[in-house]
Amino acid sequence: MKSLNLTTQRQAVYDVVREAKDHPTAADIMNRLVEKGYNLAYGTVYNSLRYLTDKQLISELKLGESASRYDARTDEHQHIMCEVCGKVDEVMSEVPAEWTKTVAEETGYIINHAHVVFGGVCPECQAKRNK
């Protein structure tokens, strides 16, 4: 395992991401830190997120939005994002091996991993639309 240097600030950021039921942005993480009584500079939070990502303790998700989101689950899984409210959920289905093979043949790449982001409308937004 890589050696870790979890300062108090990094530990606080890591705890917020681990406790999150959603996939928070850096701004969400800042707000949650303030709610917990921390007063960290934005730079400290961003540097902590980069460190935690580099050490593979968390994952940075770039889901086509302007702001990255963060996930404490580092195992292989996919995501689905509501195109109405922006909610992000986890999808535990594996990427079909046939997709990976087809992409490799099409591009000439050796595929090491895949991350698929599905887009759609979540059940809550569907219910609002149907009212």
Q: What is the CATH number of the domain that holds 24?
A: 1.10.10.10
Rounded to 5°, the CA angle 66-88-45 comes to 55
- Asked if pLDDT for residue 65 goes beyond 80, the answer is no
Q: Which residue has the higher pLDDT, 66 or 59?
A: 59
Instruction: Write the pLDDT tens digit of every residue in 49-61.
Output: 999 999 989 999 8
Beta bridge partners of 61: 69
Does 3 reside within a domain? Answer: no
Instruction: Write the pLDDT tens digit of every residue in 9-51.
Output: 999 999 999 999 889 999 999 999 999 999 999 999 999 999 9
Q: Are residues 39 and 59 in the same domain?
A: yes
Q: Are residues 125 and 98 in the same domain?
A: yes
| Predicted local confidence at residue 1, as pLDDT | 44
d(CA 43, CA 21): 24
Instruction: Write the pLDDT tens digit of every residue in 80-120.
Output: 889 898 888 888 888 888 999 999 999 999 998 888 888 89
Q: Are residues 19 and 63 in the same domain?
A: yes
Rounded to two decimals, the pTM is 0.72
Taking residues 64-87, report their average pLDDT: 84
Q: Which domain holds residue 116?
A: 78-129
Helix axes 42-54 and 8-19, enclosed angle (nearest 10): 70
